[in-house]
Chain A
Amino acid sequence: MRRAFHAPRSIRRRLTLQLVTGAALIALVLFVIVFNFARQIGSESQDRILAASAASILDETSVISGRIAIDIPYSAFSMLDNASDDRVFYRITRDGAGLTGYDDLPAAAQAGAAPGFDTVRFRGEDLRVATLSRRLSIGGTPVQIAVTVGQTRDALADVLSRILRVTVILGIGFFAASAMLAVLAGQSTANSLRRLAGSVSRRGPQDLRPVVAEVPSEMRPLVASLNSLIARLSTALTRTEDFIAEAAHRVRTPLATVRAHAENTLRRVDKEENRVALREMIRAIDESSRAAGQLLDHAMVSIRADQLDLSPVALNALVGELVDRLRPVADLKDMDLRYRGDGPLEILGDPILIQNAVRNLLDNAIKYAPADTPIRVTLTHQGRSAVLTIQDEGIGFPESGAAHLTGRFARGENAAGVIGSGLGLTIADEVARAHHGKLTVANTQGGPGACVRLSFPLR
């Protein structure tokens, strides 16, 4: 699970999470600050009233004929009145000895003439006390009069709890609003990414135009590098296809020249050993040109099969046309190429690939079957598939099985003496797979010859 922390699978989730966490932290800090501030203000205002109360008592303390007279003013306690039932305690001392009030009320420590404050425990309750003192002179003797006023803190607690409630509500409200904004921000960020991804993935396999989706400025470098990648891919594909076509041209033209001259020479020479040599030469040329052609075809088929350009293909017409094209070749061996096809069977596919696959299979049949034998080509509708069957009366596939012959450069052990590259079935198999179809090769049951079946799912 650590991985999930380092590489979250969703930018939207990560962004939202970060924003929500930030909002929660800010809400918490805000709450602590506001609450402490409120408590401090509440506490300070109580202190001020307590000090004022103590001061007003002290003001009314005087020395009358050598005796200390205290007239506690009404206001001293009325100013401490509030909505709560806070109780008020006081104590007046002369040089530390109690004069009046609660003798056990603790005094707050004082620094100089300023009032001292303290929070004390008194009779089971928390009290805030303020102590103020004054020097009087009795017959020339200085005495220290100290007044301590204490008050329970119920009102303050009450106010604080109200402030707390409001602060909590404010904090939660702030958090909720921020979280909502965070989710929206996450979504809008993810949306612009999703729009870009959509505009790339909706396009067809042959569509290598640059992406022009509207994106935020931060994503422009991504789009730019995507476009440069697309441009390079398109150049590379074009270059590869051009290269294949060019390579075929470069290899085949000189081979054609040599072959044509060899054939012409063969017609003119009479000496047997020269004739044998020329025949061998022609065979070698055929072998290399076929291998080169098939290799380049195979490369082209692989490129196209990776990125299928699908269009409706009328299989019946396609096979019929191919059979017509190959009839002159079959005729050379007095072979009867018979074709029977079921109605218009339409599939979704790349016509060039399908044509190549079928031509390879027909080529094989013409090559491997002996002269004067028929080749039966049938196209039938079976369930949800169109099945092309090519049956010949040739040597068939070797006893050891035919399944491995769809592998690259695999040739049957009984195929020696026939020119071939071992790529024909590979190409047909690759084309079948790319179209979710199937190629099966077997020997005809109860008879000589091979039976090759190529099936494609119907539209």
Chain B
Amino acid sequence: MRFLLVEDNRQLASAILDRLAIDGHVVDHAEDLATAEEYTSTTDYDLILLDIMLPDGDGRSFLNAERARGKNTPVIVLTARSEVSDRVGALDMGADDYIAKPFDFSELEARCRAVLRRRTGTATNTIRFGQVALDALAGTLSNGSKVIELRNRELRLLEVFFGAPGQIIPKSKLVDRLFSYDEDVSENAIEVYVGRVRRHLEGSDVSIVTVRGLGYRLAVP
């Protein structure tokens, strides 16, 4: 997916770019509204992440102008201002969603996914191995002729495995991806979710293998 990040704080922007790149997205970064307008006039993006307070103006006016030009690219507003008044304003201006800084990347990811699902609805995001295909956007796994609706954690777990087939993934990494940081969970809690996902993969040529003492590995044909 191609994203545009409009954010004037370089350090924060670099961290977000870093993360989105890990997730396999192509991201352009604009530090102000003028650059952002340049980008949007030449490139079609799947999603725009828009900060509100920018050096050359209010992100909401950019949003307004985009919508006035008939551009319907989904926009998620990043706001660091008080939530009491700002969020409402952003939605009224035609943003699809907002997220308050500082945010959890999992939440950002979930919100992006929800917005993209709502706005595009196309299954362009399918990863296929042998008889199974994972559609991260739709949140479904097809196993042969079966189409399984995944719960959110099952989906995120499968995304980790499908993103690194054949590699050993330690339990601790899976804990980081699945649980929020304020939950005190033991690594064994992962086993429950791995168990569920294994059931979804039953009867296919793809399986999750336990590597004793190290973690798990996705075995693909």
A contact residues vs B (CB 8 Å cutoff): 241, 244-245, 248-249, 252-253, 255-261, 263-264, 266-267, 270, 272, 275, 279, 282-283, 285-286, 289, 293, 296-297, 300-301, 304, 325, 327-329, 331-334, 351-353, 355-356, 359, 367, 371, 417-419
Q: Tell whether, in the assembled complex, residue B88 and residue A263 are in contact, meaning their CB atoms are under 8 Å apart.
A: no
User: How far does the alpha carbon of A367 sit from the alpha carbon of B107 in the complex, in Å?
Assistant: 13
Find chain A residues with CB under 8 A from B26 CB. Answer: none
Select the stretch in B27-35, B37-45, B120-128, B173-181 that faces chain A. B173-181
Tell me which of A248, A286, A419 has the highest count of chain B C-beta atoms within 10 A of its own C-beta: A248
Find chain B residues with CB under 8 A from A359 CB. Answer: 83
CB 8 Å contact bits of B50-82 with A (1 = contact, 0 = none): 000100000000000000000000000000111
- B contact residues, range: 35 or more
CB 8 Å contact bits of B90-104 with A (1 = contact, 0 = none): 000000010011111
Q: Which residue of A lies closest to B156 (CB)?
A: A332
Contact A245 to B85, CB < 8 A, known contacts A293-B100, A331-B110: yes
Select the stretch in B15-23, B130-138, B203-211 that faces chain A. B15-23
Query: How many Å from the CB of B112 to the closest CB on chain A?
Result: 9
Contact A270 to B105, CB < 8 A, known contacts A248-B80, A263-B19, A418-B182: no
- B151 part of interface (Cβ distance < 8 Å): yes
Q: Tell whether, in the assembled complex, residue B11 and residue A286 are in contact, meaning their CB atoms are under 8 Å apart.
A: no
**Given A252-B80, A257-B15, A260-B105, list of 10 further CB < 8 A pairs?**
A255-B101, A256-B103, A260-B18, A264-B22, A285-B102, A293-B100, A297-B83, A304-B84, A332-B152, A334-B151
Q: Tell whether, in the assembled complex, residue B176 and residue A256 are in contact, meaning their CB atoms are under 8 Å apart.
A: no
Find chain A residues with CB under 8 A from B53 CB. Answer: 249
Find chain B residues with CB under 8 A from A356 CB. Answer: 83-84
- B202 part of interface (Cβ distance < 8 Å): no
Q: Tell whether, in the assembled complex, residue B182 and residue A248 are in contact, meaning their CB atoms are under 8 Å apart.
A: no
Find chain B residues with CB under 8 A from A285 CB. Answer: 102
Interface class of chain B by DSSP: helix
Question: Which 3 A-B pairs rank lowest in CB-CB distance, beginning with the nearest?
Answer: A260-B15, A256-B102, A256-B101
Contact A260 to B84, CB < 8 A, known contacts A286-B181, A334-B153, A417-B182: no
Find chain B residues with CB under 8 A from A283 CB. Answer: 181-182
Q: Tell whether, in the assembled complex, residue A252 and residue B19 are in contact, meaning their CB atoms are under 8 Å apart.
A: no
Find chain B residues with CB under 8 A from A334 CB. Answer: 151-153
Find chain A residues with CB under 8 A from B16 CB. Answer: 260
Q: Tell whether, in the assembled complex, residue A332 and residue B110 are in contact, meaning their CB atoms are under 8 Å apart.
A: yes
User: How far does the alpha carbon of A328 sit from the alpha carbon of B182 in the complex, in Å?
Assistant: 17
Query: How many Å from the CB of B192 to the closest CB on chain A?
Result: 9
The one of A249, A261, A329, A351 that contacts B110, using a Cβ cutoff of 8 Å: A329
User: How far does the alpha carbon of A241 sit from the alpha carbon of B86 in the complex, in Å?
Assistant: 12
Contact A327 to B114, CB < 8 A, known contacts A296-B82, A352-B88: yes
- B191 part of interface (Cβ distance < 8 Å): no
User: How far does the alpha carbon of A297 sit from the alpha carbon of B84 in the complex, in Å?
Assistant: 6
The one of A255, A266, A300, A418 that contacts B82, using a Cβ cutoff of 8 Å: A300
Give 8 CB contacts A-B under 8 Å: A249-B81, A253-B101, A255-B101, A275-B172, A283-B182, A331-B110, A417-B182, A417-B184
